[in-house]
Chains A and B, each alone.
Chain A
Amino acid sequence: MTNTPETGRTSRVQIRLVIVQVLICSMLATLGGRLWYIQIRNGDEYSYEARHNHVQRVVQPAVRGPILDARGVALADNETRLVVSASRTALMKMKDKGKGVLTRLADVLDMTPKEVMEKVRICDSETPAPCWNGSPYQPIPVTSEATTQQALQIRERPEEFPGITAEPTAVRRYPAPGGARTAQVLGYLSPVTDEEIQKAKNTDSPHLRSDQVGRSGIERTYDRELRGKAAVTSYEVDNLGRVMGQTRSDPGVPGSTLVTSIDARVQAVAEFELQQAMKTVRQETDKITGRKYEADAGAVVVMESKTGRIVAMASQPDYDPNAWVGGISAKDYARLTSKNSNYPLLNRAIQGQAPAGSIFKVVSASAAVRAGYPFDSRYNCSSSYSLGGRSFANFESKGHGPITLGEALKFSCNTVFYALGHKEWQRDGGLTPKKDAHDWFYRTAREFGLGSETGVDLPNEVTGRIPDRQWKKSFWKANKDAWCKQGKKGGTYVEQIAYESCLEGNQLKAFDSINFAIGQGDVLVTPIQMATAYAAISNGGTLYNPTVGKAVISPDGKRTDVIQPTPHGRLPVDAETLKDLDKGLRMVVEPGGTAAWRFGGWPQDKIPMRAKTGTAQVYGKQTTSWLATYTDDFTIVMTISQGGTGSGASGPAVRNIYNAMYGLDMEGGFDPARALLPKPQTKLPAVRPDGTIEAPEVKPYVPPSPEDLAPPALAGPPAPPPSWQD
């Protein structure tokens, strides 16, 4: 052996073998190091990814809570419908982008292929409605009104309808009990957008892709309470999505029940009477313009005076909220958002603003008292008031001689307030205001809650406008360029106004002040603001946040959270003045008052009625009718745009609403069986042990017949003098 030459191992080979051995060692070390890095160093990160990898979440959306009226009658609830949905992701994978499937589907559903395709297209800046503005990864509802027959056709032939599902689904329903649509107050739902999902991602109330979200009305304000929490079950799945086990399940909670202060019966009456009043007034000819009244919009608010709770709120034009359910159609959407239909989505009780007209005079009277003019002193109600060579006439140019402020409310005397407004303007320094100017009229208006939101629990309330010096200045700054361009000395009326505004539109003039004193000019108010203010006069001076929501009841009925009335301020007048105002407003319905002719036969001794009429002038339009009224318990404010006078247009409607609530007829006859709501509803609806809520039946409102409405022969004041119609 030893003599065998060792031919196999030269030093070159030997060295190379050592190098190979070193290489192998470093290779193994590399693998070991990397293994350590992945498994030990970053192991947690990968475990987390692995957990997410194999968990599939199945979401069962929560049933949205119902919205009830004060007695438990459903204003919004859910019903099970057969919803046919299309999965966009599945359709997009097809060669023809799902065209064939959708065409076949249209055939089964008795729709045109175009309609179906419009429903499933995704909204973007260039796509007109209808389109799907929810998530593209969510099944898109094509119809929620499929018949059992249609659903069966789809489900029995899955190979012909890939990506199409037909399943019973809980969809929102607005049953309009007794005809009370309550459309703008309830609002509507539409699918959640990607943006909203992102935004709510890290809050304690995240959205799911399948969520419907309240877009307006109380559906929006109380969305969180109504929505509940979806049930989420996490399944462990394999790479093909096959379920291997259930890991975790989150049972979910149905939405809570929202009890509102709305009384469906009163709401139905209010809606009907508002519409009826507008219809009636359209038959009448406006003496100023010589045309029939347009009565293009109107609103009425019925409020509990002592709590600010809203018993009824109607806005015209209105719409059927069920149009939104299951995706709105192109036609409906166009109608709801067009100028021709005058934007029925607007809730004019909180979003409609107009000059207040004479219902503003409670503010002016209060301002006068604050400025030191005694309520019961005598002020000359002349037939006209002249200012700078111009004469401002009283309504119908009638004078009443020296009267108290209370009587000034009764007759709605403009010249008394003209004079007071003018005097105060002068005391504040006129065109060159003092540093410590009181601005009693403007300040009092603000302290009555005008020019700012009332805080009603409905979204997108508008503020109205109090045109004080500050506002004048900023408004002038914003518009002077346009005015100066348009204005022309000695031109047309509009050009002349623009010319003047260009020169000195930043000044609060005497003219502005006397106009403001009777609620005219640039002042704008909303019906809800006036209702809040009048309710405050009646309740001793507290301005309540108006509320529609009254209580949130948990789905099992075990927990009730009452939404307490919250005040946001007090009227800036003492109790004495409030009593005086109240007396003055009471005289308005009594013989000689401007609303007396509409309240003939009213049992004023039993249910004292206070009222203030208003007829506001709007440049280029017919006058706006206002009627603000209250009893001890309720406040009703109605307005009709281009509807004529306060008592003329709104009077009968408001009277009918009161009659229905108190169970009265035109003669003042009282029938307790017919009284819908003689006292505010204080009790919440009863919850049964199983969590459901008892709901009384609601009979549709039967309006009084023309004979019933005939003016009483004896009771009440004499026939209406036209001059007191204001």
Chain B
Amino acid sequence: MQTANKFSVSRYAPERGAMAKLTSRDSVLRRLDWPILLSALALSLLGTLLVWSATRNRTQLNQGDPYYFLVRHAMNTGIGLVLMIGTIWLGHRTLRGAVPVLYGISLVLIIAVLTPLGATINGAHAWIVIGGGFSLQPSEFVKITIILVMAMLLAARVDAGDIAHPDHRTVVKALLLAAAPMGIIMLMPDLGSVMVMVVIVLGVLLASGASNRWVFGLLGSGVAGAVLVWQLGILDEYQINRFAAFANPELDPAGVGYNTNQARIAIGSGGLTGSGLFKGSQTTGQFVPEQQTDFVFTVAGEELGFIGAGLILVLLGVILWRACVIARETTELYGTIVCAGIIAWFAFQSFENIGMTLGIMPVAGLPLPFVSYGGSSMFAVWVAIGLLQSIKVQRPMSA
């Protein structure tokens, strides 16, 4: 697709005005991946409505202002858009040079969470309170830095044309670099985020062309670890029940089982067209806990029905599909790996989040990208969109 006869190399083009740059045939705007951008925007706007519906009546959360979460979610989306533009403007290649710095900063941030600067919100000690009512969840940004740092390492020699696939040494180095922040996050404990990161690492390894042994080794050790935890009885029975409650809510009817049960009732009662925005009895009655964040999908299910909830799946599908196309079409392995990491991240988080509300996945506190309320998550996913766009837009480095 990227062939010489389609557009000229801009480096050799004469200087043009800013407007001309934006409107010309080979402008950044024209080369952007619009399906991804529009889908992400649509999800964010839909999220704004759903978060609003879920929080209108939750006076203890919205401090008496029914528009509190509406405004904030819209603001977060706006900031996310700005971050995306910034990322495109800088370009993923520029960022490639800054990866060590970014990696260092994120390490500092997550260590800071473990210090008295950190705060516990919703049972997870994963936050830094900035002040002024704002707080930051560094693990969201760590997802990006893990992708970038691994991509940098694994792609370096391959992109330089030295070797066809990353060698074992490089893979080990990359894994160690990823493991360090994951270990710290595990201490918080924020197991949900660690799960996402494990899947990201898997996606990154797959795309890097690392030997099959690494891929299957990682998968195998994951399974072995789970079996070991189970067999050694490290978990209490209630923890196992909580885990299994997604399939059988009776195991933990007052705890997680309650959530999944109410979530399923909410979605199920939506039917084909839903009860209409603000009209869902499960939502207005606040029967589903955490409905503006982890269980936001239930609002869509109840109030917008199969059509609305299906639309969310379709929009997520468009983003993931386009991301796959970008991953395949970029000429650098670095870009491919970054894309793959983002795909793994978005895909797993969406599947886990929606799957748990539908009762086919265990409950874990993961936000639905773009839709769930939460600044850090919103910023991170928009930066990721920025990275995808940047990979799509920028031509490969000449050799």
Contact = CB atoms under 8 A, between A and B. Distances in A.
B322 to A, nearest CB: 11
Interface in B321-358: 321, 324, 327-328, 330-336, 340, 343-344, 347, 351, 354-355, 358
A8 interface: yes
Contacts of A54: 281-282, 285, 287
A42 B268 contact: yes
Given A32-B313, A38-B358, A39-B309, A9 B267 contact: no
A652 B4 CA distance: 132
B201 interface: no
B269 A43 contact: yes
Interface in B279-297: 281-282, 284-287
Contacts of B395: 1
B86 interface: no
Contacts of A45: 268
Nearest to A42: B268
B271 interface: yes
A371 interface: no
B351 A7 contact: no
B142 to A, nearest CB: 22
A43 B330 contact: no
B360 A30 contact: yes
Interface string A54-84: 1000000000000000000000000000000
A653 to B, nearest CB: 67
A674 to B, nearest CB: 70
A43 B271 contact: yes
A4 B262 CA distance: 56
A35 B358 contact: yes
Contact of B206 (A6, A20, A240): A20
Nearest to B57: A238
Interface stretch (B47-55, B159-167, B174-182): B159-167
A2 B4 CA distance: 7
B285 A53 contact: yes
B209 A13 contact: yes
Given A43-B269, A49-B269, A34 B358 contact: yes
A503 interface: no
Contact of B269 (A14, A21, A47): A47
Nearest to B334: A8
A39 B306 contact: yes
Contacts of A39: 267-268, 270-272, 301, 305-306, 309
B159 A7 contact: yes
A3 B161 CA distance: 13
B3 A17 contact: no
Contact of A239 (B2, B206, B287, B396): B287
Question: A interface, how many residues as a size bin?
Answer: 35 or more
Given A2-B4, A24-B324, A36 B358 contact: no
B70 interface: no
B301 A24 contact: no
Interface in B301-315: 301-302, 305-306, 309-310, 313
B207 interface: yes
Contacts of B347: 23-24, 27
A12 B207 CA distance: 9
**B265, B336, B343: which has the most chain A beta carbons within 10 Å?**
B265
A38 B320 contact: no
**B155, B209, B305: which has the most chain A beta carbons within 10 Å?**
B209
A16 interface: yes
Given A1-B2, A53-B282, A21 B306 contact: no
Nearest to B258: A239
A119 B269 CA distance: 45
A698 interface: no
Contacts of B155: 8
A7 B332 contact: yes
A268 B9 CA distance: 118
Contact of A21 (B265, B281, B324, B399): B324
A35 B209 contact: no
A53 B287 contact: yes
11 contacts: A7-B331, A9-B331, A13-B209, A20-B207, A24-B324, A31-B313, A39-B306, A46-B268, A50-B281, A238-B287, A240-B286
